[in-house]
Structure 1
């Protein structure tokens, strides 16, 4: 079934003719439906296209509207307006429903894309936190004695062994071990690290 474009629709039936066609369609008259289809398809497509602005979707929605006319012709109430107004109201509703559906799909896809793209942590916060930790470690190192600070710095930050640290500091190995242990305990306390 092809929806007629604007210039393709036949001359509109006379006053009251669409209402009679709808009555016949409600009773299953296929010829009445073909006549109504020919008379209204161009206007339906024009309205739908003006709302959707997409030719393929407009054709699809116009088809849906005309199928709905076939299925629901018995619900047409002449007391509420003309048959053409009823058909156009169905077309408008169906087009608006399609617009809402497309918008919801776009929003859902956007949310999914944002969710999938988010980084698992905040890079700026991570950088600031590391910087603050380094400043706190420096502040705590400054509270150690010179030998404690040198022992910790050489053993933990420069990677020297205890023997190398003792040799470079020109201090006995036992003294370096003690100062290193004391320094680490004071650092742990200063940093608030629980054992």
Structure 2
């Protein structure tokens, strides 16, 4: 069975990820090897942007690819493209790892805080952080829908510009322009120096 060929880079043919997922769902190990080669770099890149720790990123990327092997039958082409489906699994797994690490850190911090009274500066820093997050949320609402969606996918979900363009069904040049304009509007709204 031959795979449908798509361009996966400048002039380089690549396998059809959706077709590979269908074959993997039927237990085709060769299709999984090809799928692994096709998506592993994107998965690791997204996970690394979320976790920032190379060792943990590699571990989570392996977990994601094993999950893709186990759950390939759940992929539905009528609900979306194959690569974003895989990357959504990767993003969720990475966020789960961050939350797990944060929960452990929070437990340690609560334990330490039981015997420690926070100084004024720590409280002020916490309040300042909350105010900054609220200001970012307020400034995001001042953007156009396409700017907000593009920036959210890129900066909160870890998508690349081409992936954002694919998910939103918008030309790449338009996405780049909207994101640049959106970042400028955010900078101005937040009062950050140029």
Counterpart position of 1:34: 33
How far off is 1:96 after superposition?
0.8
Aligned length in residues: 106
C-alpha root-mean-square deviation of aligned residues, in Å? 1.6
Counterpart position of 1:68: 67
Counterpart position of 1:21: 20
Q: Measure, in 2, the Cα distance between the counterparts of 1:12 and 1:47.
A: 22
Deviating beyond 3 angstroms after TM superposition, the runs of 4 or more aligned structure 1 residues are: none
How far off is 1:118 after superposition?
5.3
Counterpart position of 1:54: 53
How far off is 1:13 after superposition?
2.0
Q: Measure, in 1, the Cα distance between the counterparts of 2:31 and 2:102.
A: 36
Unaligned stretches of 5+ in structure 2? 1-11, 118-194
How far off is 1:81 after superposition?
1.0
Q: Measure, in 1, the Cα distance between the counterparts of 2:20 and 2:54.
A: 28
Residue-by-residue CA offset, 1:95-146 (whole Å, 9 max, x unaligned): 111111111110001112233x359xxxxxxxxxxxxxxxxxxxxxxxxxxx
Name the SS for the 1:13 alignment partner.
strand
Distance 1:12 1:76, change over 3 A: farther
Structure exhibiting the larger radius of gyration computed from Cα positions: 1
- Normalising by structure 1, we get a TM-score of 0.52
Q: Measure, in 2, the Cα distance between the counterparts of 1:76 and 1:53.
A: 28
Unaligned stretches of 5+ in structure 1? 1-10, 120-195
Which of the two has greater strand per residue? 2
Q: Measure, in 2, the Cα distance between the counterparts of 1:109 and 1:36.
A: 40
Given that 1:12 and 1:39 are in contact with CA atoms closer than 8 Å, whether structure 2 keeps it comes out as: no
Q: Measure, in 2, the Cα distance between the counterparts of 1:49 and 1:97.
A: 13
How far off is 1:20 after superposition?
1.0
Counterpart position of 1:86: 85
Given that 1:52 and 1:95 are in contact with CA atoms closer than 8 Å, whether structure 2 keeps it comes out as: yes
